[in-house]
Amino acid sequence: MGKVVVVENVTLDGVMQAPGGADEDVRGGFPHGGWAHPYADQVLAETMGKGMSEDGGMLFGRRTYEQFYGFWSKQTDGNPYTGVLNRKHKYVASRTLAGPLPWENSSLLEGNAVEAVAGLKRVVVGDLVVLGSGGLVRSLAKVGLIDVYTLLIHPLTLGTGMKLFAEGEDAYGTMELVETVPTTTGVIIATYRPTT
């Protein structure tokens, strides 16, 4: 049976919007895109690389899938992530996309995303890793389908932006800390397992 593993860059005040680039996600006039880049280091790269090399697949919402496809599928500089991302099976939750999807090894989830992910967990061996895809993460969290959260907690606050756990939504429960890895730039890679 597979596990759903959420991997998210977040700030100390919980913002997850646009860690990768200025134009990544400007919804709501978000002016801080690319906030995670100054904190990249070898520890972070190696820790994330270990997780990517394991069996399983990836889960994406439409917006994150399109952003990843637009960037990673075209990288040819020999970085360690492109090959892994191209080889991994990518499952995409979307109400607007139609198949076939353009990135190799990609499948559109049919019907209700929550039900489709529950079905995947029963048949996929290994982890189903969710990167970004905040709306999908919140939908899966509400029904208890997330098994592990790996949060890359960055030492800054932004005061604005979309948060991993949105205000005004139902509580998600408690978590158990499984592992922490500090980086040289102050990022704490914290792995949690939901307990309720």
Give per-10-residue mean pLDDT for the chain (196 aa).
Answer: 95 96 94 97 90 82 94 79 87 93 94 95 93 94 95 98 82 88 98 93
Q: Give the whole-angstrom CA distance, residue 84 versus residue 98.
A: 24
Tokens 């978590």 -> residue: 175
Count the neighbouring beta carbons within 10 Å of the beta carbon of residue 72: 16
Tokens 């977040």 -> residue: 10
Q: Where are the domains of the chain?
A: 9-55+138-196, 56-124
Q: Any residues with CB less than 8 A from the CB of 5 and at least 6 apart, and which?
A: 51, 127, 128, 129, 130, 146, 147, 148, 149, 150
Q: What is the predicted pLDDT for the residue at 22?
A: 93
Q: What is the predicted pLDDT for the residue at 172?
A: 64
Length of the chain: 196
pTM: 0.93
Q: Cβ(10)–Cβ(165) under 8 Å?
A: no
Q: Give the whole-angstrom CA distance, residue 122 versus residue 118.
A: 7
* Amino acid at position 133, single letter: S
Q: Cβ(181)–Cβ(47) under 8 Å?
A: yes
